Amino acid sequence: MTDAAASRQPGDASLGDAFHVFDTTLRDGAQREGINLSVADKLTIARHLDDFGVGFIEGGWPGANPRDTEFFRRAREEIDFRHARLVAFGATRRAGVAAADDPQVRALVDSRAPVVTIVAKAHDRHVELALRTTLEENLAMVRDTVEHLRERGRRVFVDCEHFFDGYQADPEYAKRVVRTAYEAGADVVVLCDTNGGMLPAQIQAVVRTVHADTGARLGIHAQDDTGCAVANTLAAVDAGATHVQCTANGYGERVGNANLFSVVAALQLKYGMKVLPEGALREMTRISHAIAEVVNLTPSTHQPYVGVSAFAHKAGLHASAIKVDPDLYQHIDPELVGNRLRMLVSDMAGRASIELKGQELGIDLSGDRELVGRIVERVKERELRGYSYEAADASFELLLREELLRGGAEERFRSFFTTESWRAIVENRPDGSHANEATVKLWAKGERIVSTAEGNGPVNALDRALRLALERIYPELAQMELVDYKVRILAGTHGTESTTRVLVSTGDGGGEWSTVGVADNVIAASWQALVDAYTYGLLRAGVEPQG
């Protein structure tokens, strides 16, 4: 087998090989509690990571499970990598077996990945207790496996597992593992804080010493158990590491790994290094959220740089100052990472925030103190009942427009339709089948409309009945689709008796908007959010209310 596979994955020549951004979302990231990736998920994530421009994508452990084996086959056939090289992960050969005879090592070669990372033990106790072999045999396992893979044309990185704990226990043995790997032909020896217990000062001191004593090219792999994985990664770079292993959104076992997005943003924006292709950083927020979608986790709202809250301001004090100069209150321009400044509507905010929010929505409120005061009061009153406008811009805009129109034709604005009543029935029959049925009774254009629909759940049935009732009068509804539906139970101490908040996101192909409903009942809260969603959608489509 030759290096043919590598030629299909040339990497981005403009970035050179001097510094490696190595992503292990598909291998170490997948160890996060709650993540369970299909092959299709892994391929989608690999495409996002390649778009983002990381240098290396560790795809999994071929041979360890059929899913990873299939991933490497399909990635080779289906993805034309523009920036990244694909990496297979595996272990050193077993004790007492030649590398060529170890099926696990053979699977790494068979994956045809141009780069292989092998994990090696660097902590004496782990060698003895977990591997159950001698310290010398462990070194031979490292040497043989690296040489075997090098002979087959692979580029090899060696992950020294538990390196920092091992270094504390026996620094000389830990360094011998590094030297052995490097002398056998590993391109990079990666020092791993596998248990994640280190702090930046320790990492920096150890990396500096190991670098000086071994002369090896070093990488860093940090887990976040002390909340310092990003800082630990940067500390290692300060001490001479030129290869950083990270995961998208910091996914990983236990607390997680060093967050790829925080690390590259710091390297590019704070250190002034160029570690990604031109323009990549501006795609970071989008790519972070897209990967969260694929792994089926809600994007963290408070993630550095890319969270929706990362540049959100609610303090009245800050809001007034931001009117003067936004750079006074943000560490970088959010557009550099594809994010944006947001003003939050909240009862902690004063008039300045409401005016700025109006501005964001294209409505000038600055001239009308009485109107702004009325909006502040109404937001306060509703937030007290559990509404949250921070994540429901469309519902807030409806509230704002309603107040704007108070002076003129009272409440005319919301009257695309009025609700007389609705009902939803969920039934589990003796044969085990379900039935969900909803009936709505509405008035629109002076006409009373009764419609009934079935769905795969009560909210879905209500949604269908509502659309069925209105689509004849408002054909624009056919373009609209619910794209997300979230339920939050407030005051969770009372179990099923709690208040429920529903957030609905709706799209019409051209954009998305979010609405909120609150009730002591998930169905009633959903109904409110649906009514707001379609009302806003019709306004957005330029339809005139015809109540």
Minimum distance between the CB of residue 83 and its own copies, rounded to whole angstroms?
24
- Measured at the alpha carbon of residue 219, what is the angle toward residues 217 and 224, in degrees to the nearest 5? 165
Positions 370 through 389 that interact with its own copies (CB under 8 A): 383, 388
387-393 own/partner pairs: CB under 8 Å, 24+ apart? 387/501, 387/516, 387/518, 388/501, 388/503, 388/516, 389/345, 389/346, 389/516, 390/312, 390/344, 390/345, 390/346, 391/503, 391/514, 391/516, 392/503, 392/514, 392/515, 392/516, 392/532, 393/361, 393/513, 393/514
Minimum distance between the CB of residue 288 and its own copies, rounded to whole angstroms?
13
Positions 195 through 224 that interact with its own copies (CB under 8 A): 195-197, 199-201, 224
Residue with tokens 């099923």: 496
Positions 521 through 540 that interact with its own copies (CB under 8 A): 521-524, 526-527
Minimum distance between the CB of residue 80 and its own copies, rounded to whole angstroms?
25
Binding flag, residue 508, its own copies (CB under 8 A):
no
Binding region for its own copies (CB under 8 A) out of 44-52, 81-89, 355-363, 483-491: 483-491
Binding region for its own copies (CB under 8 A) out of 2-10, 180-188, 300-308, 395-403: 300-308
What angle separates helix 522-540 from helix 458-470, to the nearest 10 degrees? 30
From 500, 514, 515, 535, residue interacting with its own copies (rule: CB under 8 A): 500
Binding flag, residue 443, its own copies (CB under 8 A):
no
Contact 347, 315 (CB under 8 A): no
Within the chain, how many helices (H) and strands (E) appear? 18, 16
Minimum distance between the CB of residue 130 and its own copies, rounded to whole angstroms?
4
Minimum distance between the CB of residue 3 and its own copies, rounded to whole angstroms?
29
Minimum distance between the CB of residue 228 and its own copies, rounded to whole angstroms?
5
Binding flag, residue 247, its own copies (CB under 8 A):
no
Secondary structure string (H, E, C) spanning 92-143: CCCCCCCHHHCHHHHHHHHCCCCEEEEEEECCHHHHHHHHCCCHHHHHHHHH
From 4, 101, 213, 254, residue interacting with its own copies (rule: CB under 8 A): 254
Binding flag, residue 29, its own copies (CB under 8 A):
no
DSSP tag of 327: G
Positions 266 through 295 that interact with its own copies (CB under 8 A): 266, 270, 293
Contact 480, 537 (CB under 8 A): yes
Residue type, 36: N
Residue with tokens 């309603």: 402
Positions 62 through 121 that interact with its own copies (CB under 8 A): none
From 59, 114, 455, 517, residue interacting with its own copies (rule: CB under 8 A): 455
Binding flag, residue 173, its own copies (CB under 8 A):
no
- Residue number, 87 or 529, with CB nearest to its own copies: 529
Binding flag, residue 498, its own copies (CB under 8 A):
yes
Alpha-carbon distance values, 371 to 148, 305, 319, 393 (Å): 76, 35, 19, 19
End-to-end CA distance of the chain: 73
Minimum distance between the CB of residue 112 and its own copies, rounded to whole angstroms?
24
Binding flag, residue 448, its own copies (CB under 8 A):
no
Alpha-carbon distance values, 135 to 122, 125, 128, 210 (Å): 9, 9, 7, 19
From 489, 508, 545, 547, residue interacting with its own copies (rule: CB under 8 A): 489
- Residue number, 18 or 328, with CB nearest to its own copies: 328
Pair of tokens at residue 496: 């099923």
- Residue number, 123 or 243, with CB nearest to its own copies: 123
Positions 304 through 333 that interact with its own copies (CB under 8 A): 304-305, 307, 309-315, 318, 320-321, 324-325, 328-332
Q: Which of 489, 70, 512, 76 minimizes the C-alpha distance to 289?
A: 512
From 153, 277, 457, 547, residue interacting with its own copies (rule: CB under 8 A): 457
Contact 52, 71 (CB under 8 A): no
Minimum distance between the CB of residue 482 and its own copies, rounded to whole angstroms?
3
Between strands 481-490 and 447-454, the pairing is unpaired
Pair of tokens at residue 266: 């710091």
- Residue number, 277 or 304, with CB nearest to its own copies: 304
From 169, 482, 541, 543, residue interacting with its own copies (rule: CB under 8 A): 482
From 51, 70, 110, 238, residue interacting with its own copies (rule: CB under 8 A): 238
Binding region for its own copies (CB under 8 A) out of 104-112, 344-352, 364-372, 465-473: 344-352
Binding flag, residue 303, its own copies (CB under 8 A):
yes
Residue 425 DSSP SS3: strand
Binding flag, residue 296, its own copies (CB under 8 A):
yes
Binding region for its own copies (CB under 8 A) out of 214-222, 274-282, 364-372, 490-498: 490-498
Minimum distance between the CB of residue 407 and its own copies, rounded to whole angstroms?
26
Residue type, 351: R
Contact 515, 536 (CB under 8 A): yes
Binding flag, residue 496, its own copies (CB under 8 A):
yes
Pair of tokens at residue 80: 């034309």
Phi, psi of 285 (to 5 degrees): -60, -45
DSSP tag of 272: -
Positions 416 through 435 that interact with its own copies (CB under 8 A): 419-430, 434
Binding region for its own copies (CB under 8 A) out of 78-86, 233-241, 276-284, 351-359: 233-241
From 5, 141, 234, 516, residue interacting with its own copies (rule: CB under 8 A): 234
Binding flag, residue 125, its own copies (CB under 8 A):
yes
Binding flag, residue 344, its own copies (CB under 8 A):
yes
Q: Which of 136, 150, 58 minimizes the C-alpha distance to 99?
A: 150
Binding flag, residue 32, its own copies (CB under 8 A):
yes
